[in-house]
Amino acid sequence: SEYTFPIPNTWIWCSLSQISKIITDGTHKTPTYVNDGIPFISIVNISSGIYDEKPKYITKVEHDSLITRCKPEKNDILLCRIGTLGKPFINTLPFDFSIFVSLALIKLVDIHFSNYVKFVLDSPNTNSYIDKVKVGGGTHTFKINIKDLSTFPIPIPPINEQSKIVDKIKYLFEKIDDLIY
């Protein structure tokens, strides 16, 4: 595919679905909002890549119903799939929440891959793939279908190399931040 490239022979190419237990999206029905309750997160809360502290809320009863199909847990990846496309967010939030249709939920087979996969999903290669597979335009908001997300090719190095790559990227981002701020 045009989104694969030569990789070391200790690495393998696989699709996002091959390293995931579940790839789904949040509820397609707008819930009934309440003043206080369980946070209900949509794209506006994470599109910057960090959590925005102003969610809407739903009742525990509605939350319990929604999580039978889609239950975000620690180290799952949330990915913006409608409007703001492709921004990944690793769930480190210390509370339960439900999500709206605008977010994809990716449960990896091995949570040790989370940081590495987040960086792959936040790369120019992924942005090019998303530009090709996105649907919509004109009067319709762009979106990524779950099936297209599932087929995205991911280069997987051995776990120790993944850790080194993640550490190096984090280090470089810190250096960039030091230069900017």
pLDDT beyond 90 at 12: yes
**How far is residue 177's CA from residue 46's CA, in Å, rounded to a whole number?**
20
Q: What percent of the chain has pLDDT over 90?
A: 73
What per-residue confidence (pLDDT) applies to 114? 94
What per-residue confidence (pLDDT) applies to 68? 95
- 121-140 pLDDT, tens per residue? 998 888 888 899 999 877 78
**Residue 177 confidence class, pLDDT cut points 50, 70, 90:** confident
- 58-80 pLDDT, tens per residue? 999 999 999 999 999 999 999 99
- When comparing pLDDT for 5 and 72, which is higher? 72
Contact yes or no for 161/38 (Cβ under 8 A)? no
Contact yes or no for 60/99 (Cβ under 8 A)? no
- 21-49 pLDDT, tens per residue? 999 999 999 999 999 999 999 999 998 88
Kindly report the pTM of this predicted structure.
0.90
Per-residue burial over 88-108, b = 16 or more CB atoms within 10 Å of its CB, e = otherwise: bbbbebeeebbbbbbbbbbbb
